[in-house]
Amino acid sequence: MRYWDTSALVPLFVAQVTSKGLRDIYESDRDCAVWCLTDVEAHSAFARLARERSVTDERALEVARQFDLAWEAFQVVGASDTVKQRAKRALRLHSLTSADALQLAAALTFVSDQPASLEFVCCDERLSDAARREGFRVLG
């Protein structure tokens, strides 16, 4: 099992420079833990790629459907007061956006503040750095 940030999930569905390496990570262990709003972030990324004409509208809809099918198998960390408190702490300690702080907080909540017990898959440099400083082994 690994915790997956949106930045690492999107390349599983839309070809990017990091796609092959991330697919290898995913294929080695398909058990994924994710934050409850990761699906909204992913759909936002797919729509942005279509607006930017990096993919066609039809392709964006198809990858969104594929993502939704994969989502059904993920273990989802809900929005809770615990996640919110950990996110507020993360914002004080790390240079993160609120969404990234919530991602990190969801991962910390999932592992009951034992980050060494779970790999964190991420392609965002600031979030990866914060996850490492919290004690996660970061892949991506």
Q: How far is CA 93 from CA 5, 22, 36, 89, 90, in A?
A: 19, 28, 23, 6, 5
Cα separation of the two ends of the chain = 15
| pLDDT at 18 (0 to 100) | 96
Distance CA 58, CA 72 (A): 22
Instruction: Report the 10 Å Cβ neighbour count for 129.
Output: 15
Are the C-beta atoms of residues 43 and 64 closer than 8 Å to each other?
yes
Kindly tell me the sign of the dihedral angle through the C-alpha atoms of 39, 45, 21, 132: negative
- What beta strand segments (E) does the chain contain? 2-4, 32-35, 75-77, 119-121, 137-139
Q: Look up the CATH number of the domain holding residue 114.
A: 3.40.50.1010
Could you read off the pLDDT of 13-28 as tens digits, one per residue?
A: 999 999 999 999 999 9
Share in percent of the chain as helix, strand, coil (round to 5): 60, 10, 25
Total of domains in the chain? 1
Distance CA 70, CA 6 (A): 13
| Structural domain span for residue 80 | 2-139
Taking every pair of Cα atoms in the chain, the longest distance, rounded to a whole number of angstroms, is: 42
- Residue numbers in the chain where pLDDT is lower than 70: none
| pLDDT at 75 (0 to 100) | 98
Could you read off the pLDDT of 109-133 as tens digits, one per residue?
A: 999 999 999 999 999 999 999 999 9
- The candidate with the shortest Cα–Cα distance to 35, out of 109, 115, 129, 126, is 109
